């Protein structure tokens, strides 16, 4: 449920829980009060009767008062009028001070809650979307984020409706969920609608017809009923209806739960005359507030075709701009003239590009010169399809006379935009300047917004980031002044692109969420795709690859449905994600498709990144083709795109072993990145520089700077990748090697596949597990027992690993391995054989120097931890780093590192072989470290108020040390503090039993 534990009531003694049937009120209360002293009263409660759960109820002598706290639960409390509520409140006031009360009802409390009371309503109990997805997957075997979102949208998180949807979806589909005869239909009709008062049912029927509404729209007479429906969960908060962008002040919009509305509208439909009157009244209300899209929709639903078309002629452009394109499409179907032109624009905004062309193309047939309004609309359609030659041709036909009208300014702005897309700096600059002059002469905010966007695009193309920011700021201000949601969403999406170019990934992620929401509300398909691609890139940089892939796939689907060549943008970001995951074939396919789509008509902004990605993905398998792709990317690159193209040239050279060419490319890429303030490009140029040199000092210097740059951007996977490279350098410090191991684990957890840099082959990866069961893994394949051929070779490795890189004298090894043999010569031979066997197991192909894993001196042997992934070393290192972070007062980072250490501790050192005396010191060290780590995690959890997590860690300590007195006391105290007195009493009993086994009493112990 949304509230898994009892809300913190602090000094309040009463909790009132009100929601419609099916919100799980009683179930929640029972789960909250499990283990507590509870008296239940039913629906037949007399508010004037005796509520006291016991006339002689007093704290028991000698017991902690907290342990006798009593709860009174009045379940299914009937709806109360004001007098009955006052009487009940008086009775509650006279209850014993140790009695706390929960009242559960299907109706809100009438008027103001009594003093000392808290309240929860349906919105507090509704399930969030992630929980809906979990229930559908775990309970009913239906999965998928899109399905979870759809069910959440239909049910608004109403728990019973979610479960009914899950059962239905096992065999049915979403479209039939609310159909007559379904379980959901029956539940809503019998349990929700039938018991409602007449006024509530009447208002629900009206809301089901209108959709989104507010108090002012439904009328003063129904305000109280609307609030009642809202508190009980039948009506929920809603987004503003399409076309209301910029409305001020913005009302509090509401809508009935869609599944409920579907059943209510079918079961009790409004009579046709009442329905028409309802929509006519709504049309008047919306028109008074200049929400023309909704006014037109309501007029149409009222049957007023003439009035609808009149609104379209007068305000159609404003309706499209404010996000009402769908209303225009429906209202203007079959209309010609200016309304046909308007409908073509609306079709383009919603992504129905083929239909838009079919609407607009006949209007230019046989004409060399056309009106500017027709030219820019047709050019915008071709631009959205990424058909730039056709877009330029359509825009050139536009007639410009004095360049002082809105349509002329928009024509010039779109012309500049198309030239920006193909990288034509001069043409873009000329038309952007003319557009701004024309928009200023026209004095139209919408035209000024478009002109400043054109100027911002040219500034980006020429590398003037200050001018780019200035013009976008002005553009957004003009768009908002014009109530132009379509341009505002385009600007917001472009601003996120700017954040990505500056490698400000957390800010880009936050901005992309707003941009996606705004584009969806405006119905702007092209801006939505840009926002989704931007969001995918930000998510990928921040290490959330699954979400990034879903965003990219959604953008791709929208573009493909629209028939747009701009699908290349989504394909490129999908190629980037799949390349990061090591899915080389899938990445190559995505890049190749992106190159084909972008090259069709010169989408340079995407053509260059797609070529660069393709060059890098084929570099190892086809160096010649990779070089051709990279050089072609450089030839087509301009502005900030040059950095990515030059990096591709460099990485292709690294793969081919051409260090001079790689160094030259790194130099040029670094210059380009600095010129365009591209921090990500700069960091990668430094990585390229490190890969292009064989001097360890130069490698270290470049990688250290790259690591700092990536960390500053928040690009988690990139920072981890560089940390892994730093830890692999010769002479890396112990701390760098630990950071590399942590980074490798984080990369693997995110699904990133680490690949070798350059042509040299990687040495075998050796992992040794000593926590719990001893195991050796070479190249991710466990070494079977039969491979060892000698138990002594295996024991030799265990001893060396336990010494953690310290030298062990040959005499000591002989005494440990062959304690009963006194023949020194024979023992020396045996040790040599065991060492040889060990080396053959760790490096079966003899590819590495003999002392790569085990260094052998005349007098001693030592394992080299730098070349081994030993879980014990990682665990101890994580514990040390976690404690240091805690001391530095960085609790979130400390918790992440310490939790990783706690999970890594699979058991005591060599737990499968516990009788070797030489293992005792390291075993005790690791065990003590584990207990210290776990206790600190419990402390951190308790500090955050997370009782369950804190108690969980303390119980893990008790599982390993049942006699830890302070741990027993902490468990008991935490449970009591959380009000979980039954659990606290049981914890106290376990404590007392443990102390009795030691011959001590719990009281004496503490």
Please state the three-class secondary structure of 177-237 as a single string. CCCCCCHHHHHHHHHHHCCCCHHHHHHHHHHHHHCCECHHHHCHHHHHHHHHHHHCCCEEE
Taking CA atoms, 861 is separated from 718, 806, 843, 857, 905, in Å, by 38, 9, 17, 6, 27
DSSP 908: S
Q: How far apart are CA 214 and CA 207, in angstroms?
A: 10
What phi, psi does 408 have (nearest 5°)?
-65, -40
Residue spans of alpha helices (H) in 443-544: 445-462, 465-481, 485-501, 505-522, 525-541
Q: Report how far residue 189's alpha carbon sits from residue 170's, in angstroms, rounded to the nearest whole number.
A: 22
Q: Which CATH class is domain 766-867?
A: mainly alpha
CA distance 344 to 146: 30
DSSP assigned state of 752:
P
Tokens read off for 561:
């449905």
Which H helix or E strand runs over 870? Answer: strand 869-870
**Helix boundaries (H) for 361-405:** 372-384, 388-396
CA 663 – CA 485 distance, rounded (Å): 47
Closest C-alpha among 182, 190, 189, 186 to residue 166:
182
Q: Of the candidates 722, 686, 691, 718, which has an alpha carbon nearest to the alpha carbon of residue 503?
A: 718
Contact of 931 with 961, CB cutoff 8 Å: yes
Element (H, E) at 860: strand 860-863
From 301, 299, 303, select the one nearest 314 (Cα to Cα).
299
Q: Are 431 and 415 in contact (CB under 8 A)?
A: yes
How many whole angstroms separate alpha carbon 345 and alpha carbon 75? 57
CB atoms under 10 Å from CB of 138, counted, come to: 10
For residue 328, give every residue at least 6 positions away whose Cβ sits within 8 Å of its Cβ, in sequence order, or none. Answer: 293, 296, 312, 316, 319, 320, 342, 343, 345, 346
937 phi and psi angles, rounded to 5 deg? -60, -40
Compute the C-alpha angle 436/441/442, nearest 5°: 95
Domain map (residue ranges) of the chain: 14-125, 129-177, 766-867
Give whole-number Cα distances, 779 to 216, 285, 768, 788, 852, in Å: 69, 71, 11, 17, 16
Q: Determine contact, residues 630/645, Cβ cutoff 8 Å.
A: yes
Amino acid 789: pLDDT: 78
Q: How far apart are CA 978 and CA 791, in angstroms?
A: 53
The total of other beta-carbon atoms located within 10 Å of residue 112's CB is: 8
Q: Are the C-beta atoms of 739 and 726 separated by less than 8 Å? A: yes
Report whether 808 contacts 800 (CB < 8 A): yes
Contact, 226 vs 215, CB < 8 A? yes
CB 909 within 8 A of CB 802: yes
Spell out the alpha helix ranges (H) of 268-405: 272-288, 292-301, 305-321, 325-331, 337-349, 353-360, 372-384, 388-396
DSSP 83-101: HHHHHHHHHHHTS-TTEEE
- Considering only CA atoms, which of 526, 191, 530, 540 is closest in space to residue 380? 526
Three-class HEC string of 393-447 = HHHHCECCCCCCCHHHHHHHHHHHHHHHHCCCHHHHHHHHHHHHHHHHHHCCHHH
Instruction: Look up the pTM and report it.
Output: 0.74
Which ranges in 696-790 belong to alpha helices (H)? 696-713, 716-728, 734-749, 785-788
Structure tokens at 466: 């200050």
Torsion of CA 484, 485, 488, 494, to 10 degrees: -140
Residue 56: HSE in the Cβ half-sphere, 13 Å Cα cutoff: 1
Residue 201 Cα to chain centre, angstroms? 39
What Cα–Cα distance (Å) separates residue 934 from each residue in 730, 937, 991? 34, 5, 19
Please, are residues 259 and 177 in contact by the beta-carbon 8 Å criterion? yes
Pick from 174, 36, 42: which is nearest to 105 by CA?
A: 42
Strands 70-77 and 99-105: parallel
Long-range Cβ contacts of 170-175 (<8 Å, 24+ apart): 170/140, 170/141, 170/142, 174/147, 174/150
pLDDT of residue 549: 95
Runs of H (alpha helix) within 803-870: 810-817, 824-842
Task: Render pLDDT for 901-921 as a digit per residue (tens, 0 to 9).
Answer: 899 899 999 988 888 888 899
CA-based nearest residue to 945, from 2, 1, 10: 10
Fold adopted by 14-125: Rossmann fold (3.40.50)
Helix segments in 888-946, DSSP class H:
891-904, 920-943
Residue 290 phi, psi (nearest 5): 65, 25
pLDDT of residue 31: 82
- Both tokens of 348, joined, read 């383009």
CB distance 287 to 217 below 8 Å:
no
Name the stretches of the chain with pLDDT < 50. Answer: 1, 54-68, 758-762, 1004-1006
Q: Is 86 exposed, middle or buried (0-12, 13-18, 19+ CB in 10 A)?
A: middle
Residue 728 tokens, joined: 């692999």
Residues sharing a CB contact under 8 Å with residue 15, sequence separation 6 or more, in sequence order = 7, 9, 100, 101, 102, 103, 117, 118, 119, 120
Query: H or E stretch including 775?
Result: strand 775-778
Q: Give the per-residue pLDDT at 755.
A: 67
């Amino acid at each position: 449920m949304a509230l898994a534990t009892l809300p913190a009531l602090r000094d309040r003694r009463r909790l009132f829980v009100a929601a419609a049937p099916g919100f799980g009120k009683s179930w929640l209360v029972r789960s909250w009060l499990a283990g507590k002293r509870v008296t239940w009263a039913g629906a037949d409660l007399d508010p004037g009767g005796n509520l006291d759960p016991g006339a002689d109820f007093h704290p028991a002598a000698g017991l902690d008062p907290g342990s006798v706290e009593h709860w009174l639960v009045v379940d299914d409390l009937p709806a109360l009028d004001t007098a009955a509520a006052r009487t009940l409140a008086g009775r509650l006031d006279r209850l014993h001070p140790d009695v706390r009360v929960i009242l559960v009802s299907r109706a809100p409390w009438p008027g103001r809650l009594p003093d000392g009371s808290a309240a929860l309503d349906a919105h507090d109990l509704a399930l969030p979307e992630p929980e809906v997805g979990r229930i559908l997957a775990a309970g009913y075997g239906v999965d998928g984020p899109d399905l979870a979102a759809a069910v959440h949208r239909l049910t608004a998180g109403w728990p019973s409706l979610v479960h009914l949807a899950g059962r239905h979806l096992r065999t049915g589909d979403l479209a039939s969920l609310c159909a007559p005869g379904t379980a959901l239909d029956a539940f809503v009709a019998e349990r929700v609608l039938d018991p409602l008062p007449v006024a509530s049912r009447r208002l629900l029927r009206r809301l089901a017809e209108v959709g989104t509404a507010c108090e002012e729209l439904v009328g003063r007479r129904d305000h109280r009923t609307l609030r009642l429906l809202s508190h009980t969960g039948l009506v929920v908060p809603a987004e503003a209806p399409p076309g209301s962008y910029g409305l001020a002040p913005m009302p509090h919009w509401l809508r009935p739960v869609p599944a409920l509305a579907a059943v209510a509208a079918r079961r009790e439909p409004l009579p046709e005359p009442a329905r028409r009157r309802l929509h006519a009244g709504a049309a008047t209300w919306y028109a008074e507030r200049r929400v023309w899209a909704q006014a037109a929709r309501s007029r149409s639903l009222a049957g007023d075709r003439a009035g609808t078309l009149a609104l379209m002629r007068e305000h159609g452009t404003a309706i499209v701009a404010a996000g009402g394109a769908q209303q225009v499409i429906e209202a203007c179907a079959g209309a010609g003239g200016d309304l046909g032109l308007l409908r073509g624009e609306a079709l383009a905004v919603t992504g129905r590009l083929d239909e838009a062309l079919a609407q607009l193309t006949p209007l230019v047939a046989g004409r060399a010169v056309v009106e500017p309004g027709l030219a820019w609309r047709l050019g915008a359609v071709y631009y959205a399809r990424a058909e730039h030659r056709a877009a330029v041709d359509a825009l050139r036909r536009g007639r410009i006379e004095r360049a002082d009208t809105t349509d002329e300014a928009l024509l010039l702005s779109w012309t500049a935009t198309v030239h920006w897309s193909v990288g034509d700096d001069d043409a873009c600059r000329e038309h952007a300047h003319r557009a701004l002059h024309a928009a200023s002469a026209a004095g139209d905010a919408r035209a000024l917004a478009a002109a400043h966007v054109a100027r911002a695009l040219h500034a980006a193309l020429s590398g003037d980031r200050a001018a780019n920011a200035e013009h976008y700021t002005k553009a957004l201000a003009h768009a908002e002044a014009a109530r132009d949601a379509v341009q505002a969403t385009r600007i917001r999406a472009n601003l996120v692109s700017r954040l990505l170019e500056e490698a400000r990934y957390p800010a880009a992620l936050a901005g992309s969420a707003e941009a996606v929401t705004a584009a969806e509300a405006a119905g702007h398909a092209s801006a939505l795709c840009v926002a989704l691609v931007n969001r995918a890139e930000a998510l990928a940089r921040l290490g959330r690859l699954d979400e990034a892939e879903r965003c990219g796939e959604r953008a791709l689907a929208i573009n493909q449905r629209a028939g747009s060549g701009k699908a290349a943008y989504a394909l490129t970001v999908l190629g980037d994600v799949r390349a990061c995951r090591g899915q080389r074939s899938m990445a190559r396919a995505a890049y190749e498709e992106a190159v084909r789509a972008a090259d069709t008509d010169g989408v340079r902004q995407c053509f260059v990144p797609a070529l660069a990605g393709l060059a890098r993905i084929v570099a190892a398998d086809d160096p010649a083709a990779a070089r051709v792709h990279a050089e072609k990317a450089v030839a087509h690159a301009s502005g900030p795109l040059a950095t990515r193209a030059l990096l591709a040239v460099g990485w292709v050279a690294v793969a081919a072993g051409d260090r001079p060419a790689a160094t030259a490319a790194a130099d040029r890429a670094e210059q380009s990145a600095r010129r365009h303030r591209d921090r990500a490009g700069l960091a990668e140029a430094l990585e390229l520089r490190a890969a292009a040199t064989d001097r360890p000092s130069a490698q270290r210097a470049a990688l250290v700077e790259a690591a700092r740059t990536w960390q500053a951007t928040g690009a988690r996977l990139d920072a981890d990748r560089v940390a892994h490279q730093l830890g692999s350098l010769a002479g890396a410090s112990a701390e760098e090697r630990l950071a590399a191991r942590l980074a490798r684990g984080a990369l693997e957890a995110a699904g990133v596949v680490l690949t070798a840099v350059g042509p040299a082959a990687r040495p075998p990866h050796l992992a040794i597990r000593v926590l719990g069961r001893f195991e050796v893994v070479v190249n991710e394949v466990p070494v079977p027992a039969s491979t060892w051929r000698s138990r002594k070779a295996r024991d030799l490795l265990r001893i060396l690993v336990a010494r953690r890189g310290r030298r062990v004298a040959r005499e000591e090894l002989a005494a440990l391995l062959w304690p009963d043999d006194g023949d020194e010569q024979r023992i020396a031979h045996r040790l040599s054989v065991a060492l040889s066997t060990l080396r053959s197991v760790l490096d079966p192909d003899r590819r590495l120097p003999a002392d790569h894993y085990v260094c052998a001196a005349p007098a001693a042997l030592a394992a080299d931890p730098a070349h081994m992934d030993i879980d014990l070393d990682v665990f101890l290192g994580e514990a040390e780093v976690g404690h240091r972070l805690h001391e530095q007062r960085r609790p979130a980072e400390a918790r992440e590192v310490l939790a990783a250490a706690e999970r890594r501790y699979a058991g005591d050192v060599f737990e499968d072989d516990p009788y070797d005396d030489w293992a005792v010191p390291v075993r005790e060290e690791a065990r003590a470290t584990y207990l210290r780590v776990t206790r600190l995690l419990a402390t951190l959890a308790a500090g955050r108020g997370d009782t369950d997590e804190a108690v969980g860690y303390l119980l893990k300590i008790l599982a390993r040390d049942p006699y830890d007195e302070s741990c027993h006391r902490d468990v008991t105290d935490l449970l009591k503090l959380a009000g979980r007195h039954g659990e606290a009493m049981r914890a106290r009993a376990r404590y007392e039993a443990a102390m009795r086994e030691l011959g001590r009493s719990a009281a004496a112990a503490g």
